[in-house]
Amino acid sequence: MGKITGFLEYDRQTDPAEQPLDRIEHWKEFHPRLSEADRRQQGARCMECGVPFCQSGATLGGMTSGCPLHNLVPEWNDLLYTGNLPQALERLLKTNNFPEFTGRVCPALCEAACTCGLHGDPVTVRENELGIIEAAFERGLVQPRPPRVRSGKRVAVVGSGLSYPRQFAGQLAAGALEQGCFQLAGFGRMAFAYPSFAKDMLSGKGLDPKQCCVACGKCSQLMRLGSMAGCVVRDSVYTALYREAQQKATS
């Protein structure tokens, strides 16, 4: 928990956003972060709810409620509020190897499950997570942690799952494989947006951010609408199919 009365004293405050017409001119961050004082105040909003549904990761009626990683949300919100950044980082990394990615692109199921959101605005859990890891990088608290014993595994392109880190997917997968987090890394959706991604990644060239999957989910929507799956954002053929399928579905 944060401050006992924090959710009553402080309003939810999210990171500001750059105007869309400005952000499309570059590939830099377009959500400037809150100040340290404001971010700690957002950590203070984590209430002593008693049952932290935010970290439950439960499946209810075929849908997920709360964090699937079971992140220790109340713990690091409290540590953020009290200014204990090293301990907040330790508790964050306990369940999440890459909060610098999830803090940007996660759909924040934790916030949808936040008890504070029942009668008001939920805690800014995802942005608090990002605030912790970014501050930790700035202060040199994040250091390489090479495994004591190498697994010998290499990236295998199968299935799907790791398209969301975009151009950083190869590095993320390689790091997780080295740490023994899993044995196979999947990039299924990336193939729709960027057919040659595997060749570029395995050749050491790196991924072109202008071709990577943006994890918008429209390829899945195409299948649900009864059409062929493809990248609606990157491929004009599937953009037209998507519009046609939507018109049929609403007519």
Higher per-residue confidence, 226 vs 104: 104
**pLDDT band at residue 186 using 50, 70 and 90 as cut-offs:** low
Higher per-residue confidence, 234 vs 15: 15
What does the pLDDT read at residue 202?
76
Mean pLDDT over 78-84 rounds to 95
**pLDDT band at residue 143 using 50, 70 and 90 as cut-offs:** confident
* Mean of all residue pLDDT scores within the chain: 84
Residue-wise pLDDT tens digits, 173-182: 777 777 766 6
**pLDDT band at residue 158 using 50, 70 and 90 as cut-offs:** very low
Q: How far is CA 209 from its chain centroid?
A: 17
Q: Tell me which range, 72-81, 137-146, 153-162, 185-194, is most confidently predicted by mean pLDDT.
A: 72-81
Mean pLDDT over 14-29 rounds to 89
Contact 7, 42 (CB under 8 A): no
What does the pLDDT read at residue 127?
96
Beta bridge partners of 59: 64
Q: Which stretch of 50-59, 135-144, 147-156, 216-225 has the lowest confidence by average pLDDT?
A: 147-156
